[in-house]
Amino acid sequence: MAMFHSIDSRNSVGALRRPAGGIIHPFHRNRATRKMSKLPLIDTFSHRVHHRPCSSKPFPFVASLLTAGLLCLAGPAAAQEAADDQPVYPKAVTTSGDSVFVVDLDLPGVWQLGDSRTLYAKGSNLLRKPMNRPHCLTPHPEGGLLVGDSATREVYWIQSADAEPKPLSGGRIGIPMALAVDPSGKVLYVGDAEKRATFRLPIEGGEPELVARVNARGFAFDNEGRLLAVTPDKEAIRRIDLETEEVETIAERPNDNFFSNGICWAGDHGFVTDNYGNCIWKFTEDGKIEKWHEGEPLQRPVGIAISGDALFVADPHPEVKQVFEFDLKTKESKPRL
């Protein structure tokens, strides 16, 4: 714990002394002069003590707080409207038909990309309200999107643009980080980071059922209908047989810095993002893994999706805030968000 020290350590009547309890009241006055004394400011992160002179006027930080509060009260609607115009933290991406959908964690909400960018669904800025912290999404077989939200421990079905989110699990999911619907369209799979496990529930909603102890950050189905999962663990890419619930490791981390947040499957091979390595890896189910793309335009790739000959990658880095579309043949890219 950081210690409080007086500026003047002399044992005089006019000196500011540290009380026995170690705490100095922020408006302490020198008993000899009746003027405000120099007070220490504590850096709570580094535990350093900084001394700044104070006057009898209100502290600057108090004025700043009051100003900020007045601004919030005066124009929250205008500020929110301005914020809704731009991406903030594009994290996950999926495709449906000709559209690309992007979860924006900090907006919060979901963008729809076609000929232009529109806000498909807006989450709440209030804690523990629907879609306050959306992390993942996947198309619903009957239309609309499924979105996982950690703030309300829920998976929502958004049936159309601006529709009211419909909860599916009754708040029985912890932190949903990955979603996938099986080929039959009847079962939803959820990667729960809180329980470090994969669960399933009926597509219409219901009680989540444990499938396997796989801490998924992304899902994809292979040609045999087996569930592929990418994890932040040493066993980076895993395969779950949904009939036997047996789990196999396809590939371990290719290096110690590997950290993935997305996976997709392309027929006889798959792709995973590497956030720390700033690259995309290509892998096969026999365990071979190699870098497919590294560096520009990516900075911190996270979500990934595939559609036809195009690979879509979300990058929330502050200097990027973009979804890039890569041509699978030429590897040329273009921004989409």
Instruction: Tell me the per-residue pLDDT of 282-326, one tens digit each, with 9 for 90 and over.
Output: 999 999 999 999 999 999 999 999 999 999 999 999 999 999 999
Are 326 and 311 a contacting pair, CB within 8 Å?
Answer: yes
pTM of the model: 0.77
Amino acid at 33: T
Longest dimension (CA), the chain: 84
Q: What is the DSSP string of 230-284?
A: E-SSSS-EEEE-TTT--EEEEE--SSTT-----EEE-SS-EEEEETTTTEEEEE-
pLDDT at 75 over 70: no
The candidate with the shortest Cα–Cα distance to 106, out of 336, 288, 314, is 314
The structure tokens listed for 215 are 């801490």
Angle, alpha carbons 311-107-138 (nearest 5°): 40
Round the CA-based radius of gyration of the chain to a whole number and report it: 26
Amino acid at 182: D
pLDDT at 170 over 70: yes
Kindly indicate the confidence band of residue 85, based on its pLDDT and cuts at 50, 70 and 90: confident
Domain residue extents for the chain? 1-74, 87-335
The candidate with the shortest Cα–Cα distance to 180, out of 262, 272, 97, 275, is 262
* % of the chain beyond a pLDDT of 90: 73
pLDDT at 213 over 70: yes
CA 329 to chain centre: 30
Instruction: Tell me the per-residue pLDDT of 244-271, one tens digit each, with 9 for 90 and over.
Output: 999 999 999 999 999 999 999 999 999 9
Range 87-335: architecture per CATH: 7 Propeller (2.130)
Kindly indicate the confidence band of residue 83, based on its pLDDT and cuts at 50, 70 and 90: low
**Phi, psi at residue 53, to the nearest 5°?**
-70, 145
Q: State the distance between the two ends of the chain, measured CA to CA, in whole angstroms.
A: 45
Amino acid at 266: A
Amino acid at 36: M
Q: Is the dihedral of CA 265, 270, 276, 278 positive or negative?
A: negative
Number of other CB atoms surrounding residue 60 within 10 Å: 10
Are 322 and 90 a contacting pair, CB within 8 Å?
Answer: yes
pLDDT for position 73: 43
For the segment 190-215, the average pLDDT, to the nearest whole number, is: 98
Instruction: Measure the CA–CA gap between 150 and 194, rounded to whole angstroms.
Output: 10
